[in-house]
Amino acid sequence: MSTISQIAIVEQHGLTRRGLESLLASSPLLRMVSTTAEPAQLQSRCEPGERLDVIVYGAPAASARSLTETVGALAACGRVLIIADFAGWQLVTDALRAGAFGCVSRQADEDELMRAVETVAQGGLHVAPGLATRLHTELRHPASTARPALARREMEALRLLASGLTHSQIGRRMNLTEATVSTYIKRIRNKLNVGNKADLTRKAIELGLLESTERTGPLSGGGVLGFSPAA
C-alpha cells in the first residue's frame, strides 16, 4: 500500500505558489499540510519531533549565504527540494551541503518537478538534468573565492557569447546596440579577469550559464541524477 507523503510549499510569489499547490494537490499520494510565502512562517508551524516528507522551497534571487542559511533552517522541518534559477552565484553543491535533498531549475516542466518530489519524498536525492553537469563541474572545481558579481544582463550576454553568438547577434537577442554589447563584454572581462573568448566560455561553464544541451547535446538517458534510497 502506497504511503501518503506530507508536503509543504514555501514560495513568495502568489501566482507561482498557487500553481505549485494545484499541481501537487492533484497527486493522491501527496497531502498538502502547509502553504506559505516565507520560510519563517513554515518554521513557526513545525512541531518538535515531526518532519515533513518534502518542503518545496522556491528560492528567490538572494545572496549565496542567505540561500544556505534558509535551507539549513528549513531542513530542521523536513527534506528540502529547492526550485531556483541557479544562475551565477547559486551553487548546487552549496544547496546540497546546506541540507537540500533536491535541486530543480525554475525552467523545469511539471513532470520533472513531480519526479523530483517523488524521489525526495522517498528519501532520495534528485538533481535535475540541466543541473547535473553543473554539479559535476562544481565538484571538480570547487570555488575558493567569492563569485564575481555579474549583473543579470551581463550574465545573459556572457551566456550568449559562450554559446557562439557574435556581438551583433547578441544585440538583436537582447534588444541592445552592438556598441552596448561590446561595453558589456569589456566589463565582464574586467570582472572575471579574463582576456579571450575561450576563457570567457570556460567561466560561463563554471558559473552554470550554459545548459548541458548547449555544449554536448542531451545527457544520456535524460540526464537525471537521482539517487533513490536503498530498498
How far, in Å, CA of 70 to CA of 91, rounded?
14
Q: Domains of the chain (ranges plus CATH)?
A: 5-141+219-227 (3.40.50.2300), 152-206 (1.10.10.10)
Q: Which tens digit of pLDDT belongs to each residue from 153-206?
A: 888 899 899 888 999 999 999 999 999 999 999 989 888 888 788 788 877 776
From the list 131, 123, 132, 75, the residue with the least C-alpha distance to 98 is 75
Q: Is the pLDDT of residue 24 over 60?
A: yes
8 A C-beta contact, residue 150 and residue 159: no
CA torsion sign for 36, 94, 159, 182 is positive
Cα 37 to Cα 145: distance, rounded to the nearest angstrom: 32
- pLDDT at residue 142 in the model: 57
Asked if residues 80 and 57 have their Cβ atoms less than 8 Å apart, the reply is yes
Given a contact cutoff of 8 angstroms between Cβ atoms, the answer to whether 153 and 184 are in contact is yes
The predicted pLDDT at position 199 comes to: 80
pTM of the model: 0.62
Burial label for 63, CB within 10 Å (0-12, 13-18, 19+), is exposed
In tens, the pLDDT along 146-161 reads 556 678 888 889 989 9
| Most distant CA atoms of the chain, gap in Å | 64
pLDDT digits (tens, 9 = 90+) for 70-100: 998 999 899 999 998 876 555 788 888 888 9
**Using an 8 Å Cβ cutoff, are 7 and 32 in contact?**
yes
pLDDT digits (tens, 9 = 90+) for 98-143: 889 999 988 889 999 999 999 999 999 998 887 877 777 777 765 5
pLDDT of residue 148: 60
User: Which pLDDT band, with edges at 50, 70 and 90, does 210 fall under?
Assistant: low
Find the mean pLDDT for residues 24-50.
Answer: 90
